[in-house]
Each structure stands twice: as C-alpha cells, then as structure tokens.
Structure 1
C-alpha cells in the first residue's frame, strides 16, 4: 500500500444523508444521594455538545480531510441551531432541512467519573413527507459530489431511501449505506453496505461458521441487489464480501476504551479512502485500522490522517515512508485539535540542517502540550536572513525531515519580506496556547508573543544544546572539502 496516496484525501467528495442529532454531555462529580429519591446527585461542572448520528459520520470525513456535505432533518429549535453551529466549525457543508413541527433529535447524557449516569432522548420520528423534503434537496446537490453515504439510524429521515438511492445512481454516484433496516431490499442498488454482526443476523444472515457466513452474505446481497457487504465483526475484525470474493481483515489488538461511534468511523473512512483512489480492499484495510484507533479513545472519536499514517506504518512495518500533512490543511487540523481540547504548542525556525540540538529542543517543546506546530522559514526568507548560499536544503525537504520526527505534528511555512520574515502573522492565525522559542531571548523580543499573551497563552524560552549549530556544521563541512 502506498502511503503517499493519503495526500489525495482532499479529493474525496462525499455527501452524507441521514439521521442527524445533537449529542449533549453534562459532566460533573457525584458525592451524595438525593434526599428526594434514591438517585445520585451530579453537580454539573461542564457542558459539551457534539455532532451525532449522520452528523458524526460527516465529522469523521471532515477530520480525514475529505470534502463533505450533509443532508438531514432538524427542528426549529435551539438544539438545531446549535448543531448547525457545530457543523460550521467542523467545516461541513450542511444542508439541513428544518421541520417546524418536530424537535431536533438530541441525546443528552449525564457523565460522572467517566460513567454514564443517565441518558435522556429527545426525539419524535420523522415521517414520509419530511423525508420527501430531503429527497428534493438531494436532487439539487447530488451532482456536486462523487459519493453518497446514507447513514440510517431508523429515525425517519431515510423513509424515502429507495428513491434517494435511485437519484444517486442515476447521477452516476457510488452509494454506501450504514443500515438499520433488517429488510436489505430497501437498499437495492447500493454499491456497499456495512452491517455489524447483529444487523447481519436480523437481516437473515447466518454467522455460525465461516462457510455459512459467506454463503448467506452472498445470498443477501444478491437478493437485495447490492454490490458488496463490509461486515464488521467486533473482535473478529471485518470481512469484505462480494459474489466472487471474500477478504478478511483481522481486528487490531489494543485496549478498548469505548466502541461508541466505531461504525461511523468505519464507513466514513471506507468512503474517504475510496474517494482518495485506494482500491476497495485497501480502503477496508484502512477503515479497519481507523476503527482500532477510534475504539481506544473515549466517546464518539474521530481519526486524523496523521494518526492513520502512524498506525499504518506500524502495521506494515514501514520505516522510510510517512504522511506529511499538506500545508493548506494544517490550519484546519489545528482547529479540529483545539475543538478536541488539545493544547497547541508553536515554535519556529529555519531548521536547514537538522541536528541533535534541534531534536532535543523540539522534544522539549512538544512536552509542553499535546500538539507541536513548527513554523518553517521558506527558502527566500532564509536567503534574506542567512545569505544567498542558504538554505542548504529546500523547503519541502526540510519539512519532510521535520514531519518524520515523533515530536512534530504539523509543519507550515512562513516568511514574507513585508512581514520582516517573522511568524507573527502566522501565530495570530494559529493562536497557540503556548509559544516556545529557543535561545536567550527576552519574551518581549519574541515575534508573536504579545498576541499569545493577550489571548491568555504562555510564552517560554528554552536553552539550545551547547555546541550544536547549523552554521558550525556547514563550516566544518567546508573545511573538509
């Protein structure tokens, strides 16, 4: 498998259609039992709102750098407006249709000490006339996408799914479905369907052994007129089954923290990878790896291209090839990390010839937070600062070497003469929580420090390793010529 194909993720154009919902979490501590009833009292300390259902599928695609749109039904209420606000921050092109007479579906959970105390569901099923509204909107936007992914949570938005699939197929789109109905004939014409074992059995599948599993899966997809089934099998991994072939993918061994949303991650990753040009078996392999990453996290988690690349490198035991986030995607990834509550650290430099001092310094910078962003002077900037014979290594090669370090999450270039070749403007765009600079600077001398401090962040100065400098290395090399 070619890791460099991950650079095509932003070529995946996916429209998600289905049951959207707002996932709301109240977090707090429990210290006593209520005097009113034998129930724990949770003192709420924080509130967290997330995109749920089909909206979580779209979020997974967005975090994998796919171009994603979302069709769904919401009510004319605060929960619907909050969901739209979340989707905008996630850079999802939402096409949510408002239904005045019904509420936005919301799942409200009270969490204490990492345990769910109670869940409150606010929902009323949408009916055929509401689904018709989505069908009309689908007809209007389907040609903007290459893939249509239907996320069925059995809440009524996909009541007209037969007609919706026909619209997508008539437009020449690849159709994928995460099903809830036991009647798979409702999904006739789909290219891929992704049931779990329970859904497979409810649809009439027999999983008593491998032979009956394969034969019954083929019978089901033939009867329903579906191209292929990706059967997710929990600790047994996944199986991609067509009329002619069956490929099994072993589950990735890790400590499982939470399986919530794992199905969303699987179909989102499968679709995005197909859109990036991977073969079906490669796309399933990547979806399987992504599921392993997601279940090791708490809650309905997403997976980033960087995480997937690292996991894939370990899985294939590759050492020389790695994924470097495209420069134009870095700011988006940083914003997603912030939304996940991660601490962003920023530093900058030329890093013309990477040496031991750089490696130690970057490791120390990363230790200050969760993610390290390195602002990298472009070639023209280095020439102005260091002289016409520099840089020794061009920008893309310097970025590649830095990206290969475990301490570095993202690299982004900067350097305009009009801005004094400083990263001040870039720092304003990123607004890191912590700004780190190496050397013997005063905080007042560090570009961007005033902005970071004004935003409530921190500025730290770290000492360089004595005797290590790029200029010294270049001088020694010239002495031996």
Structure 2
C-alpha cells in the first residue's frame, strides 16, 4: 500500500480535531555518565540540560498542530505549577486551543525520563488515578459539545489515568453521533465495547492480545484479533499497531480495507519510541478529517511513526518531514515495483487474496509517449492493480530489428515503474508473454483495440479461468516508430 498516493499532506491543513484524554507533562533530563556511585551499584548522571514538553493526550494535540491541523485539547489538570506551565506556556508554543479543567487534590501527571548517550536510564512517574465524578464528567462533555461545530474528528486518547470513564466515553460518542463527527480511539481498556460506535480503534499488539486472547505476533493472529475487536467491540474499523511488524488494518465497511491488510513498518532507524503512538493517532485522525479511507490514512500514520521513532524525546512530526518521508518511500516504491519470476507471482497472489482484480498488459514501451500513458490509465481503470510486462532487449531486437530498442530494458523498466497507473513491472524474454500469463493468471487481460480478441495472446487462458479481455482504444497520432524517424 502506497502511503500518500494521490494525497498531499497539505490537504488536511486547517482541519479541526478535538483531543479528549489524559493530559501529561513530559520532562526529559539529559546528562552524561562518567562513574558508578560509591553508594550503590548505580550510574551517576551528571546533569547537562532538561526539556519540558506536552505528553499523553496533549502530545497527540501537539502532533496534530505540527502536521498542519488545528487541535482542541480537552482534559483535566491539577492545581499545581506543572498545570500552570502547560496552560501558560506549552499550549501557546504549540498552537493548541486548550479547554482544560482544573481539579484540586489531583496532581498533574508528570513523566520524567533520565537520558544519557541517547538511552533512557530511568523513568519517574508522578501520577494519581483521577476519580471522575458526575459533575466533572458533565463539564468535560460540555466542553466537547461547545467545540463540536466544524470538527473533522474527535480523538479519545486513553492512558488509563481516569479521564475517559465509560460514562464520559458514552456521552461523547452520543455527541459525536448527533453531529456526524467520526471518533478515533487510542484504547487502554480490555473491554472494547466501551468504545462502541467509534470510526476506528488503534490498539497496540499487547492491548489486542489482552482484549482478544490472540497472539498478534503473526499475521493470522493479528487478523483474528482485528476482526474480533470490530465484531464484539462494535467499532467500524481497527488499525492494529505491531511495532517492528508494522500495522494490520481491517475496515470491513470500506473497499480498501474489507480484507485485512498488513503493512510493514516505515521505520529505518529507531532511537526513541516515546510518543510514537500519539503520532499515529494524530496522523490517522487528520487523514479521516480530510476524508481519506481508513487504509490510506493508516498508511500515512505508519509513515509518520517512522519519522517519530527516529527522533529523541516525545517527538512531534512536522508536515514537511512527513512529506519528505513520503517522497523517499515513493522513490523506493518505484524501485520495488520491478519484480521478476516468483516475486512477481507472489505479489499477484497477495493482491488476489485481498480481493483485488489484477490486470495484465504487455509491450516494448521503448519510448513512452502520451498515447502509451492514455492506454495505461485506461487499463488501470479496468482493474484494481495493473501489471505491465516488458519485452527484454533480446526480445525487442527479434521483433523490431537490430537497431531497437532505443532504451535498455533497465531504463524502460524504471520509466514504466514511475508511472502512477502501473503497480508492477516485470520482463519476459520470449516473443510472446504466453508463459508469463499462464504463471501470473491475471483477472483482466488488456490490449489495444487494434487487435481482435481472438488475436490477443493468452485470451483463451484468462477467459477459461473466469477472467475477461478488455480492448483499449488506441490514441491517434502517437507512434514510437514515427518519433524515432523524426529524431533521425
């Protein structure tokens, strides 16, 4: 799945997303270790500097802001200096609209991480479970109701610190339903039915295991867990985050996610996973607010998480960083489109197992011209995934003569892979692609309308397997031969 295909992250700029949940302060104390304490077998951290930033649900809001959205943050803080710091400085620095309630006797949650040489040595948590009484619950629900106009999504960021009680979640779900606002949930409760009615839920592997009993370390287990969470929890879709194993996406109400899809992690280097889940749900909520399908929004979230874990601290990902990561992956995807032999067959089988129709067309495509592009676009419209088979250099020479091809098979494959309508490029050395068609078993065989169906190589094979043959009208005025003649 190509993250961001057909979507610029600027497309969600200005979308308002409300984040409700457990607001925290993250403190990072940086230093260096030179010796072991004489008082005990522990390292002595010599202080260098410290950094304070928004954490928990506030970090979700921070990521929404840095990605170009407009976050509204609702939660509960204590009557203390840490709360003053959050409301007085940090929210303003990150461009967040704060609708935060103060509650005496309840300390603001603070997580302090001690770091040396890029590694966390210790984390100190100062926290107390919030007891959410009816009055406080109603005030929080009131904040959501007051901010509901113009919202593209609501995020429930549950860190199990007490804000998101079942009663408050139910009240917010009702408000969202009345106004037609999708709800995105980062869960902590084992009973997923608490979040019934949510558009999407994003459990991690451990949370899914605890809620369903399925081992999500395997694709099969992750699929089973996602299905159970949807069915028993009453949520519309699940994006199951699996760390180094990537994501499993199940959105039965949408074409792209009706069959569980697994996408590999986008992280190339991992320095700090702090807040990566916040980045995922922030990106996912913005994608949904912008009207993207769940699978596409999740692919963007996966790419954003890859950027986040390459940073130190509770990281916020900026729109420019995500756009750059998507560009780099697009270049990599073009290279990965060119497959041969068993790899090409395996990819076609994966697509077909996902319920996607696979189209096949072939040609020399020596000098790609507008006529080729038009044919490829029409071919892609006839199927879900398009395979283009290129004649090798040796095959082209036999068909076109010793002066052809003008471009090598490697160059032709790179050009073909860069065309958005093309999903896979492979090569064949024979004069016809009959053996390749037999091996790939495409659902749709596509050729130019200058052929009759009975002249299309492999038509009988595809039709016998229940497939179909599509003839695409040829664009007049475009010819590789004429281009070469004019150049000469």
Question: TM-score, normalized by length of structure 1?
Answer: 0.63
Runs of 5+ unmatched residues, structure 2 = 253-257, 335-488
1:183 matched to which residue of 2? 191
Give deviations 1:165-204, integer Å, cap 9, x for gaps. 2222222111000001111011111110000111000001
Query: Of the candidates 83, 95, 110, which is equivalent to residue 80 of structure 1?
Result: 83
Out of 67, 71, 79, the residue aligned to residue 70 of structure 2 is: 67
Equivalent residues in 2 for 1:450-469 (5 A)?
none
Tell me, what secondary structure is at the counterpart of 2:190?
A: coil
* Structure 1 stretches lacking a partner, 5+ long: 321-481
Distance 1:2 1:82, change over 3 A: same
Pick from 232, 245, 250: which aligns with 2:259?
A: 245
Alignment of structure 1 residues 150-169 onto 2, 5 Å? 150-159=156-165, 160-169=168-177
The question of whether the paired residues in 2 share the 8 Å contact of 1:11 and 1:276 is answered with no
Counterpart CA distance in 2 for 1:204 and 1:141 is: 35
How far 1:37 moved relative to its partner?
Answer: 4.5
Distance between the aligned counterparts of 2:120 and 2:16, measured in 1? 36
Q: Which has the larger radius of gyration?
A: 2
Q: How does 1:257-272 map to 2 (within 5 A)?
A: 257-272=271-286
SS at match of 1:218: helix
> What's the CA shift for 1:316?
1.9
Within 5 Å, which residues of 2 pair with 1:363-402?
none
Q: 1:131 to 1:318 in 2, by over 3 A?
A: same
Distance 1:79 1:214, change over 3 A: same
TM-score under structure 2 length normalisation = 0.62
C-alpha displacement of 1:231: 0.6
How far residue 30 of structure 1 moved from its aligned partner, in angstroms, is 2.9
Q: Give the corresponding residue for 2:463.
A: none
Aligned with residue 174 of structure 1, among 157, 168, 182: 182
Aligned mates of 2:330, 2:118 — CA distance in 1: 34
Shift of 1:92: 0.5
Residue aligned with 1:317, SS: helix
Contact 1:6 1:276 in 2 (8 A): no
The change in CA–CA distance for 1:240 and 1:288 in structure 2 (over 3 A counts) is: same
| Partner residue in 2 for 1:200 | 208
Q: CA deviation at 1:271?
A: 1.0
- Aligned counterpart, 1:133: 139
C-alpha contact (below 8 Å) 2:222/2:240 kept by paired residues: no
Preserved contact between residue 152 and residue 158 of structure 1 (Cα < 8 Å) = yes
By how many angstroms is 1:55 displaced?
A: 0.5
2:204–2:242 contact (8 Å) kept in structure 1: yes
**Distance in 1 of aligned mates of 2:279 and 2:145:** 26
Q: How many residues align?
A: 320
Tell me the alpha carbon deviations over residues 268-296 of structure 1, each in whole angstroms, 9 at most, x when there is no partner: 11111222333322211111111111112
8 Å contact from structure 1 (residues 148, 174) kept in 2: yes
Query: C-alpha distance in 1, partners of 2:262/2:121?
Result: 38
The match for 1:317 among 331, 334, 337 is 331
Matched position secondary structure for 1:155: coil
Instruction: Provide, for residues 333-386 of structure 1, a one-character-per-residue CA deviation record: whole Å limited to 9, x for no partner.
Output: xxxxxxxxxxxxxxxxxxxxxxxxxxxxxxxxxxxxxxxxxxxxxxxxxxxxxx
Q: 1:352 matched to which residue of 2?
A: none
Cα separation, partners in 2 of 1:278 and 1:33, compared to 1, 3 Å: same
Q: What is the Cα deviation at residue 220 of structure 1?
A: 2.3
